[in-house]
Amino acid sequence: MKKFARRLTSGWPLTKSCSDITVALFLSLCVVQPVVAQTDAVRTLTIAEYRPDLSSDQPTMRGMKKFAELVNAQSDGHLAVRVSGNTIPGLPDVQIKRLQAGGAGVPDLMLLVTPALRNVDRNFELMDLPFIVHSNREADALLDGPFGQTLMSRLHGHGLTGLAWWENGFRQITTSGQPFIHALDLTNRTVRVIPTEAFVDTFKALRANVVGLPYPELYDALKSKRVNAEDNFYSQILVGHLYDVQSAVSVTNHSYSAIALVANSALWKSLTVRDRNALQHAAVEAGRYERDLIREQAIADCAELVRHGMTVYHVSPEELAKMEALTDPIRKRFFVNYDRGILDIYQRETAKLSTAR
């Protein structure tokens, strides 16, 4: 610029000087531009579910697509999310270890259920106990309030960061032969459950003969009469074609399944505060959207089971109360295993909801 100033004071034409200045500024911008482009590069993250081969119209898949749209909009294009139709192969503890470690072929974010997360921190098991949640309204109040936030914070220090609560919804009981109408109708009958302590002990309290089996083994076990009853979400009854080997579904809502949207902590720490906020807000909003879809889908799925020949029985409030009473010792016994602070928050929040109810 000093050179251009000397030219001006020494009598150079003004148009010539302005032309030189313009050229100099243009060349300087050409040098700076690649650096700006690099800092604004889009970072792509991958999200997956814990189950493989989900259909594109399944609520959690639609929720993940919504999440991707929200992240793109709320991060001003700094982040992009790729929804994977695959999952990490293996049992839940294997999936969690690989998510914690990160690396090639592993998603950055994942939807995980509480029976899996109890392997990280046992307090998540609280959500798997019977009659912990009684309604959709209670589920929303618990998960979106202090209880849900405190429980999610238990992931800190374990290589995972919890972002938001989604759901699978409520479990129902299916049977072949005699339907489940009364609290003790499973007495001495063989019932398949998720092979974790909370689920096994729940059905033992209902006097059933319990067999713990992973879901992929369920259809064959029912078909061979190794077991003649089980509990599941409407969606999983449909996906597994369990209507071919079960004749009735009893509406009990005895167990609620929450899903946590979880990120690899190293990935999370590498993001800017702005991008973390965008992911957090999108996770919460998409979670509420997904819960609404799950609840709408449950109604449609129940009707679809009827079309497949299943009979739907609505267990009476009196019998549900008996089921809750029979399983009360299970809740009390398990409560001693959990952090007192989390349990206090849960009991305080449910007391408020009970009063309102």
pLDDT of residue 40: 63
pLDDT of residue 357: 63
Tokens linked to 308: 């497949």
The model's pTM: 0.86
Q: What is the pLDDT along the chain (357 residues), one digit of tens a residue?
A: 444 444 444 444 444 444 454 444 344 434 444 443 445 689 999 999 999 878 889 999 999 999 999 999 999 889 999 999 889 998 889 999 999 999 999 999 999 999 999 999 999 999 999 999 999 999 999 999 999 999 999 999 999 999 999 999 999 999 999 999 999 999 999 999 999 999 999 999 999 999 999 999 999 999 999 999 999 999 999 999 999 999 999 999 999 999 999 999 999 999 999 999 999 999 999 999 999 999 999 999 999 999 999 999 999 999 999 999 999 999 999 999 999 999 999 999 999 988 766
Dihedrals phi, psi of 172, to nearest 5 degrees? -125, 170
pLDDT of residue 34: 42
Identify which of 118, 136, 143, 119 has the alpha carbon closest to the alpha carbon of residue 128.
Answer: 118
Secondary structure (3-state) at 110: strand
Dihedrals phi, psi of 177, to nearest 5 degrees? 80, -130
DSSP codes, 194-259: -SSHHHHHHHHHTT-EEEE--GGGHHHHHHTTS--EEEE-HHHHHHTTGGGT--EEEEEEEEEEEE
Q: Where are the beta strands (DSSP E) in 284-324?
A: 311-314
User: What is 126-356's CATH number?
Assistant: 3.40.190.170
